[in-house]
Amino acid sequence: MKRLSRYRRHKAAAPLLLIFALLGIGTTFSIASATTTAETTTADRSALIEEGRQIFLKGCSSCHGLNAEGGQIAPSLIGVGAASVDFQVGTGRMPMADMSTQAMRKAPVYDAAETAAIAAYVASLAAGPDIPAEESLNYERDGSTAEGGELFRNNCAMCHNFAGQGGALTQGKYAPTLMGVDPKYIYEAMITGPQSMPVFSDKTITPAEKLSLIKWIKSAEKEPNLGGASLGRVGPVTEGLLGWTLGLGILIGVAVWLAMKAR
């Protein structure tokens, strides 16, 4: 120590001390709040991640934990990937409005830039599914409607109904309608398995098959009802209801008129 203090008035002393101090504080802080990030990031990316972290702390951490580790009421987000965030936040499901049975699609709280920031932050926590690039979502070119229909009936119709109108699960949960959903979100739902939905791995349903599925869903969405008004595309329940109310109703009405005395 006595030897070092001889240099305390050296002109390099102050800058060197500053550097040591910064390194010390920075290292201490890094060790104290260690995360499993392994990605190398560019300056832009780290700014995005930081922005995302700020939004996360304000709007998500109360349920998902300060470090996205999850808790009693919300799962851990470590490893869910950017795709999960893009889906959940982009469709407005997150932040969840009321803690009832399941998150519903609603008007998004965060805009596209904020969503991208949160996604980048969550992606930085651990490896997970990425947001599909636009180039890889060209279902018109790369998908087959008929194949998509086969895949849909095998993998999706049991929850989402034969025409993608949605269906009931147990205890008040439900598979939502697939009508009017952006193709990117459909893709992300398949690879991330949100809430009750299982994950559809790329090896069991290949990316090309996923595009066929999206193509079929979009085709069903655009397809006009050939035989008349659709009655909801849910099958015999609404058909029977209409038969009894409108059908028999009109007939009984005419019957009453028939038996009434004319003036």
For residues 152 and 213, the answer to whether their CB atoms sit within 8 Å is yes
Site for another protein in 193-212 (CB under 8 A): 193, 195-201, 203-206, 209
For residues 177 and 251, the answer to whether their CB atoms sit within 8 Å is no
Site for another protein in 85-124 (CB under 8 A): none
Query: Which residue, 180, 193, 66, 175, is CA-closest to 129?
Result: 193
When the beta carbons of 48 and 151 are compared against another protein, the nearer one is 151
When the beta carbons of 57 and 231 are compared against another protein, the nearer one is 231
**DSSP structural state of residue 131:** P
Residue 166 interacts with another protein (CB under 8 A): yes or no? yes
Rounded to an integer, what distance in angstroms lies between the CA atom of residue 154 and that of residue 213? 11
Q: Which tokens go with 184?
A: 């990117």
- The contact mask relative to another protein for 213-252 (x = CB under 8 A, - = no) is ---x--xx--xxxxxxxxx-xxxxxxxxxxxx-xxx-xxx
Which of 149, 189, 210, 213 binds another protein (CB under 8 A)? It is 149
For residues 198 and 221, the answer to whether their CB atoms sit within 8 Å is no
Residue 76 interacts with another protein (CB under 8 A): yes or no? no
Rounded to an integer, what distance in angstroms lies between the CA atom of residue 122 and that of residue 80? 8
When the beta carbons of 53 and 218 are compared against another protein, the nearer one is 218
Q: Which tokens go with 43?
A: 């300056």
When the beta carbons of 23 and 237 are compared against another protein, the nearer one is 237
Residue 73 interacts with another protein (CB under 8 A): yes or no? no
When the beta carbons of 53 and 93 are compared against another protein, the nearer one is 93
